Amino acid sequence: MIPHQQFLLHAVLVLSSIFLVGCVKRSESDVVVYSALDEEFAFPILNGFERRSENQTKIIPKFDVESTKTVGLVNQIIAEKDRPVCDLFWNNEILHTVRLQKLGLLKPRSWNLPANYPPEMVAGDGSWCGFAARARVLIVNTEVIDDPSQYPQSVDELADPKWKGRCAMARPLFGTTATHFAVLQQIRGKKPTLDFLNAIQENSVILSGNKQVATAVASGQLAWGLTDTDDAIVEKDRHAPVAIVFPDQNPNQLGTLRIPNAIAVLKDAPHPVAADLLADYLLEPSTEERLAMGYSSQLPIHPNSKYPPRVLPKESVRWMSVDFESAGDDWVSWSAELKKIFLD
């Protein structure tokens, strides 16, 4: 072989070896997690899984950012569907997990759950499981409304003219507010829910997120608003003059909506064994108890979870009956209708 041919052959072999090394998959001991739950809450729990495995399983996390909410991670999973990167998706709500289910991107699996686990918190095909919920509540400024008998008691009061300009809601295009109205649309029908949203848009102050609603009420800028328990309890813990109302508790009303975190393993997860182990770990009662003890005071769903979060009232709460899978039907056209109201 002449010298220049030897050089070319050597160059080809070097380049081939670099390419092959770059294409070698990470070991099955790795697991890639996309988490919409805030890093400050999710990371210690994920780190606990690493410690339990004596660091034989390494978690590679990607966390959501506030500006895109859950939608950013979901869109990334969809964009990567032909070459998945994510093994396990930890969503801090449920609607967009259902979107992934309906696109066929999640793996049906058997969850290690007791027989009395709430059935609405598990996908019909086993592709996701809900746990550690937040409730949709009313936060009331007790100095602006100093008589408890005058506190609002229903989400429907967002459209009541007596509160015009004095109550608030987050724009229902993302997160739990989007989930809330998708659920109402499934229960009440599309037109009544759109009529309700138009009335809210005319009557209420529309803010960018649930946290902004809670802080505006706590500061006295507004009398009350619709938010999540985690944002409301932060203001209460700060000793702001606020009360938390679990709405729609009368027998003729829908009950309070609770929206769970959701765990799902991707159908073509690169590391399915490690992902399954992590999924089972996250669904243990101890995970919910840690989230309940934290300052977000999340609501355990597992029947064997023993720690009562401080955000719950002393009296029992009547929860809304929900079919999350039906609520996620036709999200694309439903979200287009929402944009007409809240963006046009």
- Model pLDDT for residues 255-301, shown as the tens digit of each residue: 999 999 999 999 999 999 999 999 999 999 999 999 999 989 999 99
Report the CATH architecture of 26-132+261-307: 3-Layer(aba) Sandwich (3.40)
Residue 114 has pLDDT above 70, yes or no: yes
pLDDT of 246 reads 98
- Model pLDDT for residues 132-172, shown as the tens digit of each residue: 999 999 999 999 999 999 999 999 999 999 999 999 999 99
pLDDT of 182 reads 96
As a three-state string, the secondary structure of the chain is: CCHHHHHHHHHHHHHHHHHHHHHCCCCCCEEEEEECCCHHHHHHHHHHHHHHCCCCCEEEEEECCCCCHHHHHHHHHHHCCCCCCCCEEEECCCHHHHHHHHCCCECCCCCCCCCCCCHHHECCCCCCEEEEEEEEEEEEECCCCCCHHHCCCCHHHHHCHHHCCCEEEECCCCHHHHHHHHHHHHHHCHHHHHHHHHHHHHHCEEECCHHHHHHHHHCCCCCEEEEEHHHHHHHHHCCCCEEEECCCCCCCCCCECEEEEEEEEECCCCCHHHHHHHHHHHCCHHHHHHHHHCCCCCECCCCCCCCCCCCCCCCCCCECCCCHHHHCCCHHHHHHHHHHHHCC
CATH number belonging to domain 134-257+335-342: 3.40.190.10
Q: Do domains 26-132+261-307 and 134-257+335-342 have the same CATH topology?
A: yes
- pLDDT, greater one: 107 or 70: 107
Domain ranges of the chain: 26-132+261-307, 134-257+335-342
Residue 12: pLDDT band with limits 50, 70, 90: very low
- Model pLDDT for residues 311-334, shown as the tens digit of each residue: 999 999 999 999 999 999 988 899
